[in-house]
């Protein structure tokens, strides 16, 4: 089996490559990644994957990378909600470009290459804000941020290739993911790295928003199982079963690091902030998926990883790019808190 992993130098993609190498030692893995601010070669350290630097929007390089592949796992995306909200057309436009147009380019190439499976990695955010109960796969897509809308658009493009051209598309919709190699703009690594440095921890609004958390290797496992055992044309929720208030996650991180709650600042909320995501994931459980990691020990392992791997995150956080982003996103908020 030869697989193409797009966005494999990112957070979940690189964890997926590691999982595949341990679960399927005879599979050949090709990674294509544009190495945006979020993609890093070092995320693939100690893996055997063949690496192609390239953009999924480029049909020529995509066709080359896909040659001989049996399955495509599309992780490549602009993935951060806050960046999709920044009033900068270059930033918000990149979401539509990669998360929608890029999916079209991949589907065209996959159709020509006659791949056996095309796995579109999507998110629980496509369901929108979930007041009560749990999202099931047949629920309407009601995305509310430019990120979530772009991911929903990508899903629909892939779905249309399944219906119109018989491309064997399987979609996964995963919960909020955490673990090693996550870029320190997302909640858990941002709070852990700030707290290690005794910096302020900016919680949006009241911090009573809820997310279902899943460890990266469990999310990767769900995607692998969906790809191998799922039915073309179907979507599968990949949940962790760990619903937590944001505030409680931040308290847990502080406790694990032995830092005081006084580092917390309640800052101006994110625009259109979804209060809750929650998945019913019975459908993928029926394929044999069950999370292997419990939230508390996986969070502890993650926080310890950030303590130990300062060689990984300090160069990111000290870089001009990250500092610019951080200032734009947080300076005024923290000044007003």
CB within 8 Å of 95: residues ≥ 6 apart: 77, 78, 83, 84, 146, 147, 150
Binding pattern for the stretch 28-67 against ligand TYD, x by CB under 6 A and - elsewhere: ----------------------------------------
Contact between 303 and 258 (Cβ < 8 Å): no
Work out whether 75 is an interface residue with ligand NAD (CB under 6 A): yes
Q: Which of 104, 127, 134, 147 is catalytic?
A: 147
For the bound state, the minimum distance from the C-beta of residue 286 to ligand TYD, rounded and expressed in Å, comes to 26
Work out whether 186 is an interface residue with ligand TYD (CB under 6 A): yes
Helix (H) or strand (E) holding 174: strand 169-174
**Three-state secondary structure call for residue 314:** helix
Q: Which segments within the chain are labelled E, that is strand?
A: 2-6, 28-33, 50-53, 71-74, 117-123, 169-174, 176-178, 201-204, 210-215, 235-238, 243-245, 264-267
Using alpha carbons only, what angle is made at residue 314 by residues 313 and 320, rounded to the nearest 5 degrees?
105
Size of the site for ligand NAD (CB under 6 A): 30
**Rounded to the nearest 10 degrees, how much is the dihedral formed by the CA atoms of 228, 231, 234, 235?**
-20
Instruction: Tell which one of 4, 5, 9, 92 touches ligand NAD (CB under 6 A).
Output: 9
Binding pattern for the stretch 235-264 against ligand TYD, x by CB under 6 A and - elsewhere: -----------x------------------
Work out whether 33 is an interface residue with ligand NAD (CB under 6 A): yes
User: Nearer to ligand NAD by C-beta: 60 or 332?
Assistant: 60
Contacts to ligand NAD from residues 95-154, by CB under 6 A: 98, 102, 121, 123, 151
Indicate which of ligand NAD, ligand TYD, none lies near residue 143 (CB less than 5 to 8 Å, by partner kind).
none
Indicate which of ligand NAD, ligand TYD, none lies near residue 252 (CB less than 5 to 8 Å, by partner kind).
none
Alpha helices by DSSP H, 116-262: 146-165, 187-196, 216-229, 246-257
Between helix 246-257 and helix 187-196 the angle, nearest 10°, is: 30
For the bound state, the minimum distance from the C-beta of residue 197 to ligand NAD, rounded and expressed in Å, comes to 22
Indicate which of ligand NAD, ligand TYD, none lies near residue 38 (CB less than 5 to 8 Å, by partner kind).
ligand NAD
Work out whether 35 is an interface residue with ligand NAD (CB under 6 A): yes
Work out whether 38 is an interface residue with ligand NAD (CB under 6 A): yes
For the bound state, the minimum distance from the C-beta of residue 19 to ligand TYD, rounded and expressed in Å, comes to 21
Residues in the chain: 337
Indicate which of ligand TYD, ligand NAD, none lies near residue 202 (CB less than 5 to 8 Å, by partner kind).
ligand TYD
User: Nearer to ligand NAD by C-beta: 36 or 194?
Assistant: 36
**Can you say whether the dihedral through the CA atoms of 204, 208, 210, 216 is positive or negative?**
positive
Size of the site for ligand TYD (CB under 6 A): 12
Contact between 289 and 230 (Cβ < 8 Å): no
Q: Which of 33, 82, 99, 124 is catalytic?
A: 124
Nearest alpha-carbon partner for 224 in 311, 119, 122: 119
Helix (H) or strand (E) holding 204: strand 201-204
**Can you say whether the dihedral through the CA atoms of 93, 325, 309, 305 is positive or negative?**
negative
Contact between 31 and 9 (Cβ < 8 Å): yes
Catalytic annotation present for 21:
no
Indicate which of ligand NAD, ligand TYD, none lies near residue 135 (CB less than 5 to 8 Å, by partner kind).
none
Catalytic annotation present for 212:
no
Which of the residues are catalytic?
Answer: 124-125, 147
Applying CB under 6 A, the residues found at the interface with ligand NAD are: 6-7, 9-13, 33-36, 38-39, 55-57, 75-79, 98, 102, 121, 123, 151, 174, 176-177, 183
């Amino acid at each position: 089996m030869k697989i193409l992993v797009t966005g494999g130098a990112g957070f979940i993609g690189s964890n997926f490559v590691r999982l595949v190498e341990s679960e399927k030692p005879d599979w050949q893995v090709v990674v294509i990644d544009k190495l945006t601010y979020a993609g890093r070669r070092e995320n693939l350290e100690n893996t055997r994957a063949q690496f192609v630097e390239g953009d999924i929007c480029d049909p020529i390089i995509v066709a080359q990378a896909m040659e001989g592949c049996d399955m495509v796992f599309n992780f490549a995306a602009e993935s951060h909600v806050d960046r999709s909200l920044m009033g900068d057309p270059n930033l918000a436009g990149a979401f539509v470009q990669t998360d929608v147009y890029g999916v079209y380019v991949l589907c065209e190439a996959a159709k020509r290459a006659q791949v056996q499976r095309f796995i579109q990695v999507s998110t629980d955010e496509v369901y929108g804000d979930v007041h009560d109960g749990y999202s099931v796969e047949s629920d309407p897509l009601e995305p509310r941020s430019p990120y979530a809308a772009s991911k929903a658009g990508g899903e629909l493009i892939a779905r249309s290739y399944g219906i119109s051209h018989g491309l064997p598309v399987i979609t996964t919709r995963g919960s909020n993911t955490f673990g090693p190699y996550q870029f320190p703009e997302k909640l858990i690594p941002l709070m852990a790295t700030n707290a290690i440095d005794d910096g302020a921890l900016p919680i949006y609004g009241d911090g009573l928003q809820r997310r279902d958390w899943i460890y990266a290797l469990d999310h990767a496992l769900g995607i692998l199982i969906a790809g191998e055992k799922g039915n073309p044309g179907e979507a599968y929720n990949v949940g962790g079963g760990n619903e937590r208030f944001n505030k409680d996650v931040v308290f847990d991180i502080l406790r694990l690091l032995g830092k005081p709650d006084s580092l917390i600042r309640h800052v101006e909320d994110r625009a259109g902030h979804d209060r809750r995501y929650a998945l019913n994931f019975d459908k993928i459980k029926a394929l044999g998926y069950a999370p292997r990691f419990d939230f508390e020990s996986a969070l502890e392992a993650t926080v310890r990883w950030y303590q130990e791997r300062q060689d990984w995150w300090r160069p990111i956080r000290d870089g001009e790019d990250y500092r610019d982003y951080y200032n734009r996103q947080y300076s005024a908020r923290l000044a007003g808190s």
